[in-house]
């Protein structure tokens, strides 16, 4: 069921130069002299929810990493925290300091670079529904912008909502009423979850759409900032040998997997409101699926790429009950805040089918879970068996192309090769690109710092568009409603295992053939390399 949403109200803004098409050369990490982002005037970054865990552990460290690499010049930026907590500037800085790591590529040494960064940060205390608080915030922002009278002719304002989605509409109204930029652009970053189903997502999108235009809104999904995920388009469309292979004629199935080896650990009350499908599958893993399955875009401009992702989502068929296994690990209900009758899944395997010419008949296996046997996130493309198998390759296992997102970023191809020796015997090995071995002198940026830089540059390629969000919720809302009302029950599974055995059975029925006896191991760095 689609939900009507109000037409966005266009807020008059000064003319703003749109970001140019993405230039991969300009996105190389580890550059000695990175291009600064001070074009367009003085930059104000406002972190709303500055005293919370997300801001402390992700937002401020990401800004610091950009600062230490020279992407945020000291004289052209201010960072302002806003929250309800009664803190001084120094108290906020002390909270943040413990999460800042200088790193080997800092432009200065040790504590000096941290001290320089912390000087950029000030704090304003106020309630999220307080007109007076946001007027004070506006005063703090404007006091450093120095517009006119020999100062800058334009300014830039970035608001990062490190807050629960329930307060997005309220805070956004306050920002719109009191803190909009009159001398340049205003951009707003919002965190997932973007609603709990199609109706709530559309309601939230409508509320934000009344206040901000689509090019002012940046719906962040940090998986789109991961190095391997960003490499997907280059890998697929810049290498000739993948072009004839990447289709239903050669690929048997695709797995997109997220595993954690720990449970909710005190966050059960929050997690129980959402579950693994809302928390991981509907957003992170579905975004990865789009990049794996999409057609080649007209160009690498953000809108062309997002257009192709939406086409994939619209081609996904309704999910059938027989293509789903959900589970809950034993001991989950012991976590604080989790009700005894909870049916919230901590594990799910979902088979997705894409009804188009390229992928007809190829199952996309999406699997995510907590309290499992390992921690990893990866894409695993399994190819079909070799026709006319004269070397008995089936004994060794199928070819697979694996992209390891975390930990130990890597891409490797599983191949059958001749075992060294006098016998003509086959064995499985790999062609391996392990990032920490190949790129030892390059700092791979964290997802949040990359996405913050994209926002400052005005590049929305790695952010979720409103129609994209709607199409994603249309896929999963019917299943989620059945789980919420208890029609679809969770299976119990032991912590530290692979999840419910029924999941392995489902994956096997979908056509995945497991390779026994082969385990990929990240290469060990040798001394003196």
For position 417, which CATH number holds?
Answer: 3.30.360.10
From 147, 169, 191, give the residue that closes a domain: 191
Tally of CB atoms within 10 A around 498 = 16
Three-point CA angle 139, 145, 146, nearest 5°:
110
Same domain for 171 and 255, yes or no, is no
Q: Which of 222, 284, 353, 462 is catalytic?
A: 284
Cβ-contact 321, 479 below 8 angstroms: no
From 149, 168, 191, give the residue that closes a domain: 191
Rounded CA-CA distance 311/334 in Å is: 42
Residue 29, pLDDT score: 33
In a domain, 77, yes or no: yes
Same domain for 184 and 309, yes or no, is no
Per-residue pLDDT of the chain (529 residues; tens, 9 = 90+): 333 333 333 333 333 333 333 333 333 333 333 444 445 689 999 999 999 889 999 999 999 999 988 888 778 899 999 999 999 999 999 999 988 987 755 445 678 889 999 999 999 999 999 999 999 999 999 988 876 555 557 899 999 999 988 899 999 999 999 999 998 999 999 988 899 999 999 999 999 999 999 999 999 998 888 888 988 999 999 999 899 999 999 999 999 999 999 999 888 888 999 999 999 999 999 999 999 999 999 998 999 999 999 999 999 999 999 999 999 999 999 998 999 999 999 999 999 999 999 999 999 999 999 999 999 999 999 999 888 877 776 667 788 999 999 888 888 888 877 778 777 777 777 788 887 778 777 778 888 999 999 999 999 989 999 999 999 999 999 999 999 999 999 999 999 999 999 999 999 999 998 877 667 676 664 533 3
In a domain, 100, yes or no: yes
Predicted TM-score of the model (pTM) = 0.86
Cis peptide before 407 (omega within 30 of 0): yes
Same domain for 241 and 363, yes or no, is yes
Same domain for 184 and 232, yes or no, is no
In a domain, 22, yes or no: no
DSSP readout, 61-108? Answer: HHHHHHHHTTSS-GGGEEEEEEESS---HHHHHHHHHTT----TT-SS
In a domain, 322, yes or no: yes
Same domain for 177 and 254, yes or no, is no
Active-site annotation holds for 304: no
In a domain, 230, yes or no: yes
Same domain for 156 and 236, yes or no, is no
In a domain, 64, yes or no: yes
For position 113, which CATH number holds?
Answer: 3.40.50.720
Closest CA to 370 of 276, 279, 290: 276
CA distances, 188 to each of 215, 245, 253, 309 (Å): 9, 40, 38, 22
Structural domains counted in the chain: 2
Same domain for 181 and 238, yes or no, is no
DSSP H helices, 388-446, are: 435-438
Q: Which two tokens stand for residue 246?
A: 């990447």
Same domain for 395 and 266, yes or no, is yes
Residue 41, pLDDT score: 86
Same domain for 229 and 175, yes or no, is no
In a domain, 106, yes or no: yes
Rounded CA-CA distance 425/418 in Å is: 6
Cβ-contact 113, 107 below 8 angstroms: yes
Same domain for 183 and 323, yes or no, is no
Residue 13, pLDDT score: 36
Same domain for 186 and 78, yes or no, is yes
Name the residue range of residue 101's domain: 43-191
In a domain, 449, yes or no: no
Rounded CA-CA distance 138/374 in Å is: 47
Same domain for 127 and 239, yes or no, is no
């Amino acid at each position: 069921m689609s939900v009507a949403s109000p037409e966005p109200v266009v807020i008059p803004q000064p003319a703003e130069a749109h970001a140019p098409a993405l230039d991969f050369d300009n996105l190389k990490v580890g550059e000695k002299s990175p291009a600064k982002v001070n074009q367009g005037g003085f930059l104000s970054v406002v972190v709303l929810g500055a005293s919370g865990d997300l801001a402390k552990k992700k937002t401020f460290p990401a800004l610091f990493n950009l600062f230490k690499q020279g992407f945020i010049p000291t004289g052209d930026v201010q960072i302002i925290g806003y929250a309800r907590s009664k803190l001084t500037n120094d108290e906020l800085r002390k909270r943040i300091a413990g999460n800042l790591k200088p790193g080997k590529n800092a432009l200065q040494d040790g504590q000096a670079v941290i001290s320089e960064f912390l000087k950029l940060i000030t704090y304003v205390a106020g309630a999220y529904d307080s007109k007076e608080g946001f007027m004070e915030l506006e005063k703090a922002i404007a006091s450093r912008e120095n517009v006119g009278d020999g100062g800058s002719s334009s300014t830039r304002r970035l608001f990062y909502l490190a807050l629960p989605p329930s307060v997005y509409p309220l805070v956004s109204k306050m920002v719109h009423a009191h803190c909009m930029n009159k001398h340049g652009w205003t951009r707003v970053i919002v965190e997932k979850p973007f609603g709990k189903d199609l109706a709530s997502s559309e309601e939230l999108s409508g509320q934000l759409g009344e206040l901000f235009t689509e090019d002012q809104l940046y719906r962040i999904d940090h998986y789109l900032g991961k190095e391997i995920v960003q490499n997907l388009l280059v890998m697929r469309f810049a290498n000739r040998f993948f072009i004839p292979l990447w289709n239903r004629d050669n690929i048997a199935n695709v797995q997109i997997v997220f595993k954690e080896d720990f449970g909710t650990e005190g966050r059960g009350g929050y997690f129980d409101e959402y579950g693994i499908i809302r928390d991981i599958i509907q957003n992170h893993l579905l975004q990865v699926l789009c990049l794996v399955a999409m057609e080649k875009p007209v160009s690498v401009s953000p809108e062309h790429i997002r257009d192709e992702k939406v086409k994939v989502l619209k081609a996904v068929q309704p999910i059938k009950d027989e293509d789903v296994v959900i589970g809950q690990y034993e001991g989950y209900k012991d976590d604080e805040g989790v009700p005894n009758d909870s049916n919230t899944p901590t594990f799910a395997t979902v088979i997705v089918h894409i009804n188009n010419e390229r992928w007809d008949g190829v199952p996309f296996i999406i699997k995510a879970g907590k309290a499992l046997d390992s921690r990893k996130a990866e894409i695993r493309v399994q190819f079909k068996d070799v026709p006319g198998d004269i070397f008995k390759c089936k004994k060794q296992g199928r070819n697979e192309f694996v992209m390891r997102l975390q930990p130990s970023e890597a891409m490797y191809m599983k191949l059958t090769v001749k075992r060294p020796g006098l016998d003509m015997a086959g064995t499985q090995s790999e062609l391996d690109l392990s990032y920490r071995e190949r790129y030892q002198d390059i700092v791979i940026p964290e997802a949040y710092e990359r996405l913050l830089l994209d926002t400052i540059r005005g590049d929305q390629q790695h952010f979720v568009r409103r129609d994209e969000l709607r199409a994603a919720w249309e896929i999963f809302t019917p299943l989620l409603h059945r789980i919420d009302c208890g029609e679809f029950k969770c299976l119990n599974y032991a912590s530290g295992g692979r999840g419910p055995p029924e999941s392995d059975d489902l994956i096997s029925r979908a056509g995945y053939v497991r390779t026994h006896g082969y385990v990929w191991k990240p290469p060990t760095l040798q001394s003196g390399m």
